[in-house]
Amino acid sequence: MEFDQAIAAHAAWKSKLAKYLKNPDHSLEPSKVAADDQCELGKWIAGEGRKFTKLPEFATVKSDHARFHKVAADIVQRANSGQQVAEEVALGAKSEFATASSSVVRSIMALKAKVGSLVSV
């Protein structure tokens, strides 16, 4: 997976979660959402991406991604328990979800820049 694909795969989660919040039908389980190694990006981190483990930027991607899944799982848990989880509040620009999501994108971009600078040297 290329870095831009990783960002796109991650961004798809926001759409998936927004759709789910409109109709929380229990098709998403918090424990599965919390598993940061099951999504496309998580599988890359645990697999092909491991070649970057010596770079501090990779560690940041990994920790930001884990935090993102924890936050997403919390939103799913609240929705599944019947709490009203308004999309604007849960996924809005200043929400914990948006902050965690933005951190993942920024850390992937930083890793991409680092790897690009190493290749061009």
pLDDT for the residue numbered 95: 83
- Under 8 Å between Cβ of 23 and 87: no
With 70 as the cut, is the pLDDT of residue 121 above it?
A: no
Q: How far apart are the first and last CA of the chain?
A: 22
DSSP helix/strand/coil, 86: coil
Fold observed for domain 3-119: Four Helix Bundle (Hemerythrin (Met), subunit A) (1.20.120)
How is the chain split into domains, by residue range? 3-119
pLDDT for the residue numbered 67: 96
26: left (phi over 0), alpha (psi -120 to 50) or beta: left
| Rounded distance between C-alpha atoms, residue 114 and residue 67, angstroms | 22
Confidence of residue 33 (pLDDT cuts 50, 70, 90): very high
- Please write the tens of the pLDDT for every residue from 56-95: 999 999 999 999 999 999 999 999 998 877 766 666 777 8
| Rounded distance between C-alpha atoms, residue 62 and residue 8, angstroms | 16
Angle, alpha carbons 37-40-43 (nearest 5°): 40
With 60 as the cut, is the pLDDT of residue 42 above it?
A: yes
- Please write the tens of the pLDDT for every residue from 93-115: 778 888 998 999 999 999 999 99
